[in-house]
């Protein structure tokens, strides 16, 4: 049975109630926020997707690859129980996704799945 469309998009919420991706987005200029939102919406309606918009980082972790006018943004997410969980976002400064950004997203993924099961 195909997944319902669109998939729900939810923000990872820490134990203290912070939503790091939402907070990060709020600090961006409106035009950049809009562009990232449009890319996430494309994933929401057309999942599963591949390059150039979405790339796998392994371990069930994916990235939305957003080109902004003067820089590149990445939003790391998982698809869990037919929902897109936005885990971490950053402005890309190097060719590869920094290992600490990937590690942080994986840590949040594991915390979310553990909490959703218990």
pLDDT in tens, 75-86: 999 999 989 999
pLDDT at 4: 66
**Tokens read off for 78:** 């998982």
pLDDT at 117: 73
The reported pTM is: 0.93
Q: Which residue has the tokens 């929401």?
A: 44
pLDDT at 37: 98
**Tokens read off for 101:** 């950004």
Q: When comparing pLDDT for 118 and 113, which is higher?
A: 113
In this model, does residue 2 exceed pLDDT 80?
Answer: no
pLDDT, average across residues 83-106: 95
What is the Cβ-side half-sphere exposure of residue 1, based on CA atoms within 13 angstroms?
3
Using CA atoms, how far residue 26 sits from 19, 88, 110, in Å, is: 11, 14, 25
Q: Just give the CATH number of 8-117.
A: 3.30.2310.20
pLDDT at 80: 94
How many other C-beta atoms lie within 10 A of the C-beta of residue 59? Answer: 11
Instruction: With cut-offs at 50, 70 and 90, classify the pLDDT of residue 118.
Output: low
Mean pLDDT of the residues in the chain = 94
Q: Where are the domains of the chain?
A: 8-117
Q: Are 67 and 113 contacting, i.e. CB atoms less than 8 angstroms apart? A: no
């Amino acid at each position: 049975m195909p997944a319902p469309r669109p998939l729900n998009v939810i923000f990872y919420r820490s134990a203290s109630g912070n939503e790091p991706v939402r907070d990060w987005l709020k600090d961006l200029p409106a035009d950049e926020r809009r562009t990232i939102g449009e890319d996430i919406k494309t994933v929401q309606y057309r999942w599963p997707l591949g390059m150039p918009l979405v790339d796998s980082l392994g371990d069930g972790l994916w990235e939305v690859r957003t080109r902004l006018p003067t820089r590149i943004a990445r939003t790391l997410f998982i698809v869990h129980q037919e929902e897109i969980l936005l885990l971490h976002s950053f402005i890309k400064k190097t060719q590869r996704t920094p290992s600490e950004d990937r590690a942080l997203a994986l840590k949040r993924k594991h915390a979310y799945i553990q909490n959703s099961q218990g």
